[in-house]
Structure formats: structure tokens, C-alpha cells
Structure 1
């Protein structure tokens, strides 16, 4: 089953040519902007929307590690948008909604809410309803329950990354003297603890310069101590940087 997913993201946007190219070339995903937020749209073959989301995140972050998935975009549509996507008139769409046409079909989906004075619907639910008329686009989208589950999972993921970052900061503040050099990712530079926190939160990866610690404790012992303190050994790499 092919799912089309659109996420609200941060960490990369349409102005980042490298990220845009990498996602398009390697993940067949599109970065774009709508209603003032950065969006990523990707199609994935999976048994359900939750599995599709996990596959999409892994594939996209493999090529753009700094990308952060915040939540699913609801893709709300009004009468005009439905008419445009189905190439039908607004009057035709209004008749679907009221039930005046195609008697005997399932009722039109309930609106998700009201924007101004106009009702809006989840496009995924409308698209499923349109399958009765052969007017759907043959792509699956998360159900209302799946949207809630996916948003919850994304929220938990980000909270977990922030917690690991806070643990990393606590450890670094106690084990590394202020003003020492840090090697974060591939960038060797002097960074404040607040910047290291931001890097780790966005990428889930941080590399410490432990040159000054090598006289205090062997690298293995320092690494084991850090792993025990953070419970994030798979996400954090501790290495020495040549001086």
C-alpha cells in the first residue's frame, strides 16, 4: 500500500539546496513551504501509516541527519480545494456534502473544523470517500486515529532526544573544563554548551574532544562513564581530537 505523508519539519528548508537535492535524489521526498511552515512530502510503501512514518524518518534522516519531524500536516481542504483536486465544480462538491447527489453512497465525511466561516475537511478522509466515485488519487493517507498515534510518537521521539541532550550537557559540564574545544559532527570548532545542546537536539549526534581527559582517565573508562550517565551509547560517540 502506497502512503503519501506530509510532515511539518525543521532543521532543513527549501532554501537549503543541499538538503533539497539530497532528499529528492535519494529519498524521493520533497521539501516545500506552506502556510508559513516547512513541509516534507514523501510516498512510502508499507502495511500501515505508522510503519510508513518510521520508514520515512529513517530514510530521510540517513541523508539529512539534521532534519527534525515535528508532526503530520493535516492537509485541510475546503470546498474550493476539493473542487480543484477533483476537477469538479464547487456546486458539485457542495451537492456531495449535502447528499443531494449519489444517493446510496456512504455519507460525506464530517468536517474537521471551521476556518473563518467555511468548513474544512481532512483530505485523507475526503480522498477515501471519493474512491466510491472513482475520483480518488489511489494514494493512502493516515486515518484520524493514525494521525494521533504518529503525532504522539514524534513527540515522544523529540522529548527523548532532548532528555539525552540534557544528560550529555550535565556530563560534559562536570567532566570537561569550560572553554575546551568540541568536535561536533564534522565541524571542529569552539562551541558553548548551549550550542552543543542545540546540535545534539537537532541531529541526535555529538562528538566530544576528550584530549584533556586522557591524562585523567583512559578513553575506555571515560566512554563507559558517559554511556552509563546518558544511556545513549548508540547516539553519542566519544573520541579524541588531534591537537
Structure 2
């Protein structure tokens, strides 16, 4: 089995009792911290695949009352500074690639301009670096984390929505196609 590293971002306050419950639920391979009313669980989990590791960790965390996993980091959406960090480049180098003043051009378009700083999809950026620089992307990790974060976001959005049942049916149909 391989060891997989990832971090879960969890809603719910971490108390000594809850920490004990998390360890008892099978989260003894995680280090916990808190920030801004969120709990962070950094896992080093042994499992056959990244998917198995993350799903088992989410299941273990959510057996503890009061905790809900919000997302898995590293997140799929990244700023230019995060691209620089993940690729070992400077921020200036990444900015030049984005603006096509350096490199082959055709850098992926931002996924969103919701803030002053655009965000890119890491899976697209990683594929671009693989195509243009021969980097070996960790496609399993990228695909698994992207899909799980999408599912967690959909689950969170559906909670309490007045039209949750039709939305669930539509999502199920969409995923089946």
C-alpha cells in the first residue's frame, strides 16, 4: 500500500473530546489544527489508491457528531502564486507564461475572475506543463481531489435547499451520463 498525503478542511470546533473521538474513529494518522472556526486534518494515510485514502478519511471524520468535511486540499482552483509554488517557479516566471511574454503561449484561460486575482484550474495548468515542459503530472491525485471537492461542494449546496430532491436527481443523471 502507498501512503497518501492530503488535508481535510472540516466545519466544527475541535475540542479535546472531539479529538479523542476522531482518533477513536480511525484518524490516528492525522495531525489536527484549528483556524477561524475550522478544523484542519493533515493526513498521511496508507491505502491502495488516493481515492480510497480520501474517502476513508472523510468517512472516519464524519462519524464524529458535529463535523462535516468541506473540502480536500490542495484545492483545484489556484492563484498564480500557488502555480508558482507547485511548479517551483517564481511568481514573475508564471506571470510571463500567463501573459505569453515567455514560453510557447496558449497558457490555460482562468477558470474565474470572481476577484481581482483570477483563479485557474490546477488540472488544466498541470496538463499544460506536462505538454510543454514534459513534467509528469500526478493525474490520479488531481482527478481524485477535483472530483471529491466537486461532490463535497454539491452536497453542501444541497443541504437545506428547498428543491434538494430535484437537484439531487439532476446531479445523479448528470453524473451517470
Report the TM-score range of the alignment, normalised by the length of the smaller protein: 0.5 to 0.7
Checking the alignment, whether the CA contact within 8 Å between 2:12 and 2:39 is kept in structure 1 is no
- Cα distance in structure 2, aligned partners of 1:59 and 1:122: 28
- TM-score calculated relative to the size of structure 2: 0.54
Aligned length: 151
Q: Within the alignment, does 1:147 sit opposite 2:146 as a pair?
A: no
Checking the alignment, whether the CA contact within 8 Å between 1:53 and 1:150 is kept in structure 2 is no
Offset from partner CA, 1:77-96 (integer Å, 9 cap, x none): 32223223433212211233
- TM-score calculated relative to the size of structure 1: 0.43
Checking the alignment, whether the CA contact within 8 Å between 2:72 and 2:148 is kept in structure 1 is no
Residues 24-173 of structure 1 aligned to structure 2 (within 5 Å)? 26-33=27-34, 37-42=38-43, 44=45, 45=47, 47=49, 49=51, 51-60=52-61, 65-66=64-65, 68-73=67-72, 75=75, 76-103=77-104, 107-114=106-113, 116-123=115-122, 125-127=124-126, 129-132=128-131, 133=133, 134=135, 140-141=141-142, 142=144, 144-153=146-155
- Cα distance in structure 2, aligned partners of 1:39 and 1:126: 26
Q: CA deviation at 1:37?
A: 3.5
Match of 2:8 in 1: 7
- Cα distance in structure 2, aligned partners of 1:35 and 1:131: 36
Q: Whose radius of gyration is greater, 1 or 2?
A: 1
Query: Which 5+ residue runs of structure 1 have no aligned equivalent?
Result: 160-243
- Cα distance in structure 1, aligned partners of 2:92 and 2:67: 41
Q: 1:73 to 1:82 in 2, by over 3 A?
A: same
Query: Which 5+ residue runs of structure 2 have no aligned equivalent?
Result: 161-177
How large is the RMSD of aligned CA atoms in angstroms?
4.3
Q: CA deviation at 1:124?
A: 5.1
With a CA cutoff of 8 Å and minimum separation of 6, indicate the structure with the bigger relative contact order.
Answer: 2
Q: CA deviation at 1:140?
A: 1.0
